[in-house]
């Protein structure tokens, strides 16, 4: 098997595993979202330290420590991914898996909004149409849900901001994950210690299986990240970008088919608008990529802002 094909399979594996997370988080109840997040941050850092030791990749840490600006950027990225992960876990464990999938579906549209507002980018006609349809979809879904879909909007805003900040960091996925979990390690560990002291911790009090599942949250975080890292190094990023929709598609399917979350016609209409908007964005990205290859021999979109996913 060629390296590119193997990388593509690993990329699909990464996004498929991220998409399957809604099947995992309910099994660590009755731990709340913040407790689960704290365990995930704590155990993920320990896994990353072991991984970096095996790979013997330490030199890059010195460069980060010498740059206060980079440290600040890393801290912001860590806060954004913490908000994202925590909101995602909360949504899944409160029977809102479909809404969490919506958050990751509309993230590309929010990224475009960041490009316009923060970077002053100008949109092409198709992009304007896609963004307008996305806004319309949110309005339709507000009516359909009878409330603002705050879980989806929080996920989209935090993940899009994380992607923007991460691009400025310009770090490989593994290094980025290591420093982000390192930033959140002490707050996470402190929170777990406070839970234990106050008697509110579920770890070790709900049986060995639940404790084991909390412990291996680090492993299930690192495995898809490794798959993604290999894929990003062997597959054109334009193809990697197309795979990002696999995770929310799987999440949506799990919410509807496994957890039987209600999907009245009005919600289908809202999601349909989102999917059409994403189809337009994908078509526009492919067209721009082909033009770029013809004019400059370049590949498609760059960056790996889609990792780490939830």
CA 130, 241, 165, 170: dihedral to nearest 10 degrees? -150
Tokens of 260: 């039987």
Pair 228, 11: CB distance under 8 Å = yes
At residue 236, the 3 state secondary structure works out as: coil
**Is the bond into 258 cis (omega within 30 degrees of 0)?**
no
Q: Which of 297, 300, 295, 281 is nearest to 235 (CA)?
A: 300
Residues 21-52 have pLDDT tens digits of 999 999 999 999 999 999 999 999 999 999 99
Global confidence as pTM: 0.90
Tokens of 33: 């979202």
- Cβ-count burial of 34 within 10 angstroms (0-12 exposed, 13-18 middle, 19+ buried)? middle
pLDDT tens-digit profile, the chain (310 residues): 677 788 889 989 999 999 999 999 999 999 999 999 999 999 999 999 999 999 888 888 888 888 888 888 889 999 999 999 999 999 999 999 999 999 999 998 998 888 888 888 888 888 899 999 999 999 999 999 999 999 999 999 999 999 888 877 777 888 888 999 999 999 999 999 999 999 999 999 999 999 999 999 999 999 998 888 888 778 776 677 778 899 999 999 999 999 999 999 999 999 999 999 999 988 887 777 676 654 443 333 334 445 666 7
Q: How far apart are CA 27 and CA 309, in angstroms?
A: 20
Residues 263-284 have pLDDT tens digits of 999 999 999 999 999 999 888 8
Cβ atoms within 10 Å of 88's Cβ, excluding its own? 29
- Cβ-count burial of 131 within 10 angstroms (0-12 exposed, 13-18 middle, 19+ buried)? buried
């Amino acid at each position: 098997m060629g390296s590119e094909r193997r990388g593509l399979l690993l990329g699909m594996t990464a996004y498929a595993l991220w998409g399957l997370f809604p099947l995992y988080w309910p099994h660590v109840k009755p731990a709340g979202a913040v407790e689960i997040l704290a365990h995930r941050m704590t155990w993920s850092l320990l896994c990353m330290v072991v991984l970096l030791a095996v790979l013997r990749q330490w030199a890059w840490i010195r460069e980060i420590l010498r740059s206060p600006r980079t440290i600040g950027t890393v801290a912001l990225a860590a806060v954004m991914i913490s908000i994202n992960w925590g909101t995602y876990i909360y949504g899944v464990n409160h029977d809102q898996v479909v809404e969490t999938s919506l958050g990751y579906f509309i993230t590309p549209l929010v990224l475009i909004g960041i490009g316009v507002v923060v970077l002053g980018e100008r949109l092409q006609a198709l992009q304007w149409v896609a963004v307008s349809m996305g806004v319309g979809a949110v309005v339709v879904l507000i009516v359909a849900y009878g409330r603002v879909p705050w879980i989806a909007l929080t996920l989209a805003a935090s993940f899009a901001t994380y992607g923007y900040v991460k691009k400025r960091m310009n770090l490989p996925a593994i290094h980025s994950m290591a420093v982000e979990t390192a930033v959140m390690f002490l707050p996470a560990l402190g929170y777990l210690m406070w839970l234990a002291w106050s008697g509110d911790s579920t770890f070790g009090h709900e049986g060995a299986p639940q404790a084991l599942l909390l412990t291996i949250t680090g492993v299930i975080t690192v495995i898809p990240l490794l798959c993604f890292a290999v894929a990003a190094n062997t597959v054109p990023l334009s193809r990697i970008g197309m795979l990002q929709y696999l995770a929310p598609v799987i999440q949506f399917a799990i919410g509807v088919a496994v957890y039987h979350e209600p999907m009245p016609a009005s919600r289908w209409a809202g999601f349909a608008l989102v999917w059409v908007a994403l189809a337009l964005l994908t078509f526009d990205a492919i067209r721009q990529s082909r033009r770029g290859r013809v004019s400059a021999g370049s590949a498609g979109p760059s960056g790996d802002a889609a990792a780490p996913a939830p």
